[in-house]
Amino acid sequence: MGTPDFAVPFLKALTEDQFFDVIGVITQPDKLAGRKQVLSQSPIKIFSAEHGLPVYQPEKIASLESEIKNMAPGLVIVAAYGQIIPQSILDIPKYDCINIHASLLPKYRGAAPIQAAIINGDEETGVSLMKIEAGLDTGPVLGQNIVKVKATDTAGSLFNKLTDCGLEIFIPLLKKYIQGGISPEPQDSRQATYARTLKKSDSLIDWKKSAEEIERMTRAYNPWPGTQLTIANLQLSIKILEVENIPIAVNKYEPGKFFVHESKLAIQCGKDALIIKKLQPAGKKPMTGEEFLNGYKDKLICV
């Protein structure tokens, strides 16, 4: 059971290992996407179709309960599926439902653990394999693998590292668990934190926050939902694509105001400021800070 790109390498690993026989793949229904609202298939569905795997796309997973019972799976793997799985389905497989979660549980239970690790300035995160229970990411853990978070990591780059990190332990831990060599460890719920689902509206930057916080946000929300500001008097929306990692100690402008610092485009934050390396005004192609200065200096820039 999975839907986005994160799930694909794990399904691929299962199909390539003779210990496992993938008898069915469950993913979210096709959805309209993009400005043209084109009906789009999930990455998991595309991979499954290319490899001749039977695919099921229920609006509600509960409606597939009888079908899953008839399949009689020994094991169910869940990787960012996108629906709550009822207990009646969790009870079906002999060797449980195992979830691949992109954090070191119990830290960052919930939907956006990769972004949370960057937002909070963590130096490391990782991947956990856990038995699914009725609660949100509360089940006992089979094992974990740790990865370092660099000061330049975006959600996209950290996603790739966590995929590789998870694949290192995925198949070995599953086999060891099925063969009786692992006793899953209960989580300490007193240490639990949550990473809520992100929305498009989260992309709007509060420039009263410190430059350090906003710099992390630009990386955490790259590639989605992005970071942007709106300049009301010009009715101009600007996506901030990349900033320099080290803030500058300038505190003389109103938060959200552009200014020139040593011939570079900068923006004032609640504390300190950031050099803008790349941005994208609405309806325009991405451009460097220097290119933006050339086109918008007279309208937007504090001298």
DSSP 291: H
**pTM given for the model:** 0.94
Q: For residue 6, give both structure tokens.
A: 């994160």
Q: For residue 95, give both structure tokens.
A: 């060797």
Q: For residue 104, give both structure tokens.
A: 């070191």
- Within 10 angstroms of residue 47's Cβ, the number of other Cβ atoms is 22
Are 266 and 260 in contact by the 8 Å Cβ rule? The answer is yes
Each residue's pLDDT, cut to its tens digit, for the chain (303 residues) gives: 999 999 999 999 999 999 999 999 999 999 988 778 888 999 999 999 999 999 999 999 999 999 999 999 999 999 999 999 999 999 999 999 999 999 999 999 999 999 999 999 999 999 999 999 988 999 999 999 999 999 999 999 999 999 999 999 999 999 999 999 999 999 999 999 999 999 999 999 999 999 999 999 999 999 999 999 988 777 789 999 999 999 999 999 999 999 999 999 999 999 999 999 999 999 999 999 999 999 888 888 775
pLDDT computed for residue 35 by the predictor: 76
